[in-house]
Chain A
Amino acid sequence: MGLVSFLKSRLVSTEQEKHIHHMQKLIGTLGYDPWGYNNETARYGLSLAKPIYEKYFRVEASGVDNIPAEGPVLIVGNHSGQLPIDGLLVGYALASREKSPRFPRAMIERFFPTVPWLGNLLNEVGGTLGDPVNCARMLANNEAIIVFPEGVRGSGKLYRDRYKLQRFGTGFMHLAMKYNAAIVPVGVVGCEESIPAIANIKPLAKLLGLPYVPVALPVVLPSKVHLNFGSPMYFTGTDTSETRIEEQTEEVKAEINRLIAKGLQERESVF
């Protein structure tokens, strides 16, 4: 056994291997899917995420079994913390659940594919360019997809605005209705405190072509994270007016707000 094979075998235990085996995805002969997901990388990604989830952020997840075991699902949550750590934790919660684990996809900012190494890495562990066409085709493939309708408005907000939901895009609602996908709301509490930012250097962000450049400590703080998953919400109807779509989006937003409040109430301390 070579050194690389030895390290790989140490990284992914037999138990994890079995667990991952249950989450078969539609992939090609070399382990890739059209969006760049790679079975092998995803295995190691999950193994590396385990200590981050369990030891570093000591995540407490409730209601993760509300996510349907099959069929198209949009897991819609509040975005926070400058880096997409919330997406990682929500994804791991679903992938590691005992009953019917699923390997979810995450819609990532349009900026990531332009970043060397990181863009490919995110693709290989399930991240996909946040494009409605991608989302639609994945829902047609019965995938579970993590969506943060606030986008960079949510992840890039300052610490003083923590847990204040920003404007939601309505794209996810259109897609959920078109593909009869369940919407599972999730309230994420704790990620706001992982990288608290006090300011955004907008001119520098513009210069570098980045969505934001936060003034923050150059470390990710080990805040305790609570994930509260709500019951699946279903919205049906064809030819629905944009006003109605916005009302339905507000319903989802209100549910996420409720789940955030629940998480804040449950939290005994930030760390």
Chain B
Amino acid sequence: MTEQQTKQHKPCILVTGAAGTLARQVIQRLQDSCNLVAVDSREPADLGDTIPSYCIDFNQRSFEDLFRRYHFDGVIHLGRIRSSQLTRLRRYNANVLGTQKLLDLSHKYGIRRVVVLSTYHVYGAMAYNPALINESTAMKSAGLSSDLVDSVELENLANIYQWRYPELNICILRPCNIVGPGVRNTMSTLLASHRSPVLAGFSPMMQFIHVDDMADAVVLAYKKPVCGVFNVAPEDWVSYQHALALSGCARVPVPSIPPVLPRVILRTLRLKRFPAYLIAFFKYPVVIDGRTFAREFNFTPRRPLKEIFRFYKDNKTPV
């Protein structure tokens, strides 16, 4: 068998959000066994000569050309725009309408496996949350903050497509805070700072997963065609302020009572790394139960919390 023929037998996968660290890690893990095509709607991803990379809006007509050209077998959709990025409308267009386009094309071109990256933020943070929230718990964040509506809508869309087109084999992953080298989300930025804000008197329990472990989880999810929604989190917990202390961050308290005060302060300051709409996540715990995913996909995170925080302590520069 020639090398050319061997290559043709490899599955071809579209990976979105390619400029992000998680996608890069996923690509690194799959590039030997799969033909990969990387796409990012925000910025071009430099992945070398071997992996075709495109910076393209999913809502553009030319996006379909990729499906025509590459005959994808699967899609790994990691390109959710975070709530701290873009405006609410542009985020809605990218996350909801863009995902709808992606799923429509996946159906049209006979894709057999779709993995969608969501977030634990969809559960919403409130005082009455029980611990170890499982996947069947209601997604309350849409009712708590309009800035998180697009994240919930994205999941709803994926669920609708799963029921309408079961052959897509959609798997939705709801990870806890993804952190580690190169990660640029809100939590990673806070841990990497010299000084980070906290709500005075509140230090909710949090969960953190190293980006390498999350990449392993995404690859495992892609390889085993099990449909459904899965939380992804290690069985380890730490309070927010303790995490900051272990990461070598000085804590800057923001007054927390009356509840309207921190909201006004944060809206006035417009801190990107401590946004007003995420304030409840720094006040009340949202502890998810990742045991179903761990059992179903035989997943065990390898990076302990101490190692994660040691990295941030030793690397006090913006990531």
**CA of A128 to CA of B257, assembled, Å:** 22
Per-position contact with A for B219-248: 1 when CB-CB < 8 Å, else 0?
A: 000000000000000011111001000100
A28-B305, A30-B236, A116-B256 known; A131+B205 contact, CB < 8 A: no
Query: Does B304 sit within 8 A of A, measured CB to CB?
Result: yes
A129 touches B201 (CB 8 A): no
Is A131 within 8 A of B237, CB to CB? no
Contact A110 B205 (CB under 8 A): no
Could you tell me which B residues sit within 8 Å of A by CB distance? Answer: 127-132, 199-205, 235-239, 242, 246, 256-257, 284-285, 287, 304-306
Known contacts A29-B305, A32-B238; A119/B131 CB under 8 A: no
Q: Which of A118-167 contact B (CB under 8 A)?
A: 119-120, 123, 128-129, 131, 133-134, 137
What B residues does A5 contact at CB under 8 A?
none
Instruction: Flag if A32 contacts B131 (CB, 8 Å).
Output: no
B132 touches A32 (CB 8 A): no
**A33 — which chain B residues lie within 8 A by C-beta?**
237
Q: In the bound complex, how far is the Cα of B128 from the Cα of A137, in angstroms?
A: 15
Interchain CA distance A131-B133 in the complex, whole Å: 12
Q: State whether B304 touches A29 (Cβ < 8 A).
A: yes
10 contacts across the A-B interface (CB closer than 8 A): A28-B238, A29-B305, A30-B242, A34-B131, A34-B205, A36-B285, A120-B203, A129-B128, A133-B130, A134-B130
In the complex, are the beta carbons of B202 and A34 less than 8 A apart? Answer: no
Q: Using CB atoms, name the residue of chain B closest to A40.
A: B242
> From residue B162, how far is it (CB to closest CB) to chain A in Å?
26
Taking a contact as CB atoms closer than 8 A, the residue among B237, B242, B246, B256 that contacts A34 in the complex is B237
Find A131's partner among B128, B204, B284 (CB 8 Å cutoff). B128
CB of A240 within 8 Å of the partner chain: no
Given A29-B305, A34-B205: A137 touches B131 (CB 8 Å cut-off): yes
Chain B: minimal CB distance from A172 (Å): 16
Query: Which A residues lie within 8 Å of B256 (CB)?
Result: 116
The one of A38, A115, A120, A129 in contact with B130, judged by C-beta atoms closer than 8 angstroms, is: A129
Quick check: A116 and B236 within 8 Å, CB to CB? no
Complex Cα spacing A131 to B128, Å: 8
For residue A6, CB closer than 8 A to chain B, the reply is no
Chain B residue with Cβ nearest A114: B127
User: In the complex, A33 Cα to B236 Cα: how many Å?
Assistant: 7
With A110-B127, A110-B128, A134-B130 given, is the CB distance from A32 to B201 under 8 Å? no
Given the complex of chains A and B, what is the CA–CA distance between A32 and B246 in angstroms?
A: 14
A216 to nearest B CB, angstroms? 23
Interface residues of A in 53-89 (CB under 8 A from B): none
* Any B CB within 8 A of the CB of A113: yes
Q: Is the CB of B131 within 8 A of A134?
A: yes
Question: How long is the Cα–Cα vector from A28 to B237 in the complex, in angstroms?
Answer: 6
* Residues on the A chain within 8 Å of B131, using CB: 34-36, 128, 134, 137
Interfacial chain B residues near A29, Cβ < 8 Å: 236, 304-306
Please, which residues of chain B bring their CB within 8 A of the CB of A115? 201
| Inter-chain pairs besides A30-B242, A33-B237, A34-B205, 13 sampled, C-beta below 8 Å | A29-B236, A30-B306, A32-B238, A32-B239, A32-B242, A34-B131, A34-B132, A110-B127, A110-B128, A116-B199, A119-B201, A129-B129, A131-B128
